[in-house]
Chain A
Amino acid sequence: MIDQYIYDGTFEGFLTAVFEVYDRKPTRVKIVSERLVTVNFFDEEHTIYTDQAKSDRVWKGIEYRIGKKAGNLIYKAFLSEQSDREQVLLRIIKKGFKGENVTDNFADIDVLRLTNLVKIVGREKHRMDAFIRFRLTKDNVYFAEVEPDFDTLPLNAIHFKNRYADQKWLIYDRCRNYGIFYDLKTVNYVQLEISNDINSSLAAPFYFTHDEMHYQDLWKNYFKSTNIPSRKNMRLHLQHVPKRYWKYLSEKQP
């Protein structure tokens, strides 16, 4: 029989679950996000209520006893949302607390998986840094929509804050339905209703500035002019810019 610890899917919730594992010492345990839970007749289910104090204690323990670097890797790997993340991270945390190296012992299968999760999250974060396309709204906010494979916006926030310090911007994750908004001072998490016609070309003049359309047009032209047809290599092109990202790329719009 396995004890299922069901938490709310947040990082704090996960850390609370880790706390409970150390507190209750179950023999066999599985930490599961409430979104992915499956009812299993043989398993016993326990709901974990996110507790900031417990979560903080675990986080401090990780940073202090396993190291800041490991803490960083664990957080990034968590953002991957992969189905095995809780189990891998729990094993990593247990190994770390026992004093084993969890950052560069690449002969350990969990360490390799951790490295791999961090890598795919890092790659997606970098892609978002690259593929986000702002459009200037009539409210003078640079607005962008994204649908990243993993939950990367928390990682993107600092990059965009450093870069666009003198303009208001909003990046909205359409999959996870939240966004990050910079108001010239700080970056905050926001939730919004976004009307469905915002991406239709007919409604565009209603939302966006007059020059916005012109700059998108110039950019599309630049994208075409800078291509060298005699070196055409669509395979390479698709490898770098997979089709799932085209939806929000200005240069890929008809």
Chain B
Amino acid sequence: MNFERIKEKLNILADAAKYDVSCSSSGSKRANKNKGLGDSSGMGICHTYTEDGRCVSLLKILLTNHCIFDCAYCVTRKSNDVKRAAFKVQEVVNLTINFYRRNYIEGLFLSSGIFKNADYTMERLVLVAKKLRLEENFNGYIHLKSIPGASDELMREAGLYADRLSVNIEIPTEQGLKLLAPDKKREDFIKPMRKVKNEIIQYKSEKKLIKSTPIYAPAGQSTQMIIGATGETDAQIMYTSAYFYKEFQMKRVYYSGYIPISHDERLPSIGTDVPMLRENRLYQTDWLLRFYGFSIQELLNKEHPNLETDIDPKLSWALRNLQHFPVDVNYADRRLLARIPGVGMRSVDKIINARRYRKLGWEHLKAIGISMNRAQYFLVCASSQFETKDRTAAQLKSLIMGTSSSKWRGAYSSQLNLFESNANVTVS
């Protein structure tokens, strides 16, 4: 192998692939068989973290950064003057195997710029996965990007070798997409997504009858949106996200704060801060939807199209709905416990287990590890000391904020104004 040339390609094609957020390597069920290489049946592992604090779990590269499209938000767009490179199929296979054997990675995340057409590109991605599985007996994790517009046959084959498939919907709204990616249509994203969804459903039903049914995309599919590039509201983002969770049984929707990369007047200018706080609040909302039993209408609606930046979305919901509180931790059901600000799902489990043996007081809750700073105003327990004052939401908020310190504190004042300016958007 010519290591110098590989190094050059790797630098170009890893740099171009880094804007894909997903690095998950969990949720697959592919165990090591016949003394082969690799195993992805356990939990995901982050093998290292970059200096921006993101996990490195997969070798995340593009097959090529040649592209026929010209999407404004993308570094690999046709009109951008950057160095271009392309890996040979065998080169990607060798890199993956050798990195994997040294315990650097959990597997491969392969994406690509679109050269010639969708199917031509997709075919090559599938070929890499096929070689890894059949020639190298590789059982590590493979995440393939579905190329928008790829044919159903190729998507079917992709799922036989990959653990996860994903297409990025890129921009939360259709108008935004039209503005920034005139070559792309939402139907093109949806088509492979729908195929994968149907294949997964089919696999699950056939598996019940025939045990040897070949495994199909065991880690499901995911998608990603760029936020802060087109002035959309948090509600628009999260309603889109909720739709994809429901309609396509997505395992994950990722939110990627827009990183300014070009002087295009349709986009925030270079030097604009990456909206990391907003990203954080969106992920918190996503968690509330998936694990805490909240519905999207409760968190974001016509009256509240944007999330509050200075407090987390659960606390924000609680302050708007004080009639549900205080909750008695010794009697309330799981669903209600999960709604107390400062109590996470792990604490909910612990509370439910612990209260079978005795009534819980403040000292037990503290030892279990709930965040008292927020939780104390929203619950009662086996103790005579509890909040008796009837405070308003505003009073509670200032009390809680006065006693907490957030790493985002510096970001509030300036960002608040920025977000409130585009708040007048209707919600479907």
A37 at the interface (CB under 8 A from B): no
Nearest-CB residue, chain A, relative to B47: A130
Nearest B residue (CB) for A106: B354
Q: Does A214 contact B (CB under 8 A)?
A: yes
Q: How far is the CB of A225 from chain B (nearest CB, A)?
A: 4
A interface, size bucket:
35 or more
Q: In the complex, which of the residues B6, B38, B54, B257 contacts A163, with contact meaning CB atoms closer than 8 Å?
A: B38
B32 and A226 within 8 A (CB): no
CB neighbors of A among B6-34 (8 A)? 6-7, 10-11, 14-15, 17-19, 31-32
Which of A107, A134, A222 is B14 in contact with, Cβ under 8 Å?
A222
Complex CA distance for A142 and B407, rounded to whole angstroms:
41
Among B39, B42, B102, which residue has its beta carbon within 8 angstroms of that of A134?
Answer: B102
CA distance A167 to B368 in the complex (A): 43
Q: How far is the CB of A144 from the nearest CB of chain B, in Å? A: 7
In the complex, A39 has a CB within 8 A of chain B: no
Q: Does B124 contact A (CB under 8 A)?
A: no
A69 → chain B closest CB, angstroms: 13
Asked whether A131 and B47 contact (CB < 8 A) given A106-B364, A226-B15, A240-B55, the answer is yes
Answer whether A221 and B11 are a contact pair too, CB < 8 Å, given A226-B56, A228-B50, A251-B48.
yes
Q: Is the interface of B mostly helix, strand, loop or mixed?
A: loop
Q: Is B360 a contact partner of A107 (Cβ separation < 8 A)? A: yes
Q: Residues of B within 8 Å of A, CB-based: how many?
A: 61
B51 touches A104 (CB 8 A): no
Quick check: is B95 within 8 A (CB to CB) of the other chain?
Answer: yes
Binding-face segment, A6-14, A44-52, A76-84, A231-239: A231-239
The answer for the CA separation of A217 and B11 in the assembled complex, in Å, is: 12
Interface string of B32-63 (1 = CB under 8 A from A): 10011111011101111111111110011000
Q: Are A227 and B18 in contact (CB under 8 A)?
A: yes
Contact indicator A134/B55 (Cβ below 8 Å): no
Residues of A within 8 A of B32 (CB): 162-163, 165
The distance in angstroms between the C-alpha atoms of A106 and B407, with both chains bound, is 30
**A166 vs B139: C-alpha distance when bound (angstroms):** 12
* Closest Cβ–Cβ distance, residue A132 to chain B (whole Å): 5
Cα–Cα distance between A227 and B47 once the two chains are bound (Å):
14
Contact A240 B39, beta carbon cutoff 8 Å: no
Known A-B contacts A167-B101, A223-B56, A225-B11; the reply to A101 vs B51 at CB < 8 A is no
Task: Answer whether residue B291 sits at the interface, using C-beta atoms and an 8 A cutoff.
Answer: no
Query: What's the least CB distance linking A99 to chain B, in Å?
Result: 12
Say yes or no for B353: interface residue by CB 8 A criterion: yes
Q: Does A254 contact B (CB under 8 A)?
A: no
Top 6 nearest A-B pairs (CB, nearest first) are A236-B53, A106-B354, A104-B353, A231-B52, A225-B14, A240-B49
Given contacts A104-B350, A166-B36, A228-B18, 20 further A-B contacts (CB under 8 A): A105-B354, A105-B357, A106-B367, A107-B355, A107-B357, A107-B360, A112-B368, A126-B45, A131-B48, A133-B102, A163-B38, A211-B1, A226-B50, A227-B51, A227-B52, A228-B50, A229-B52, A235-B407, A236-B53, A240-B55
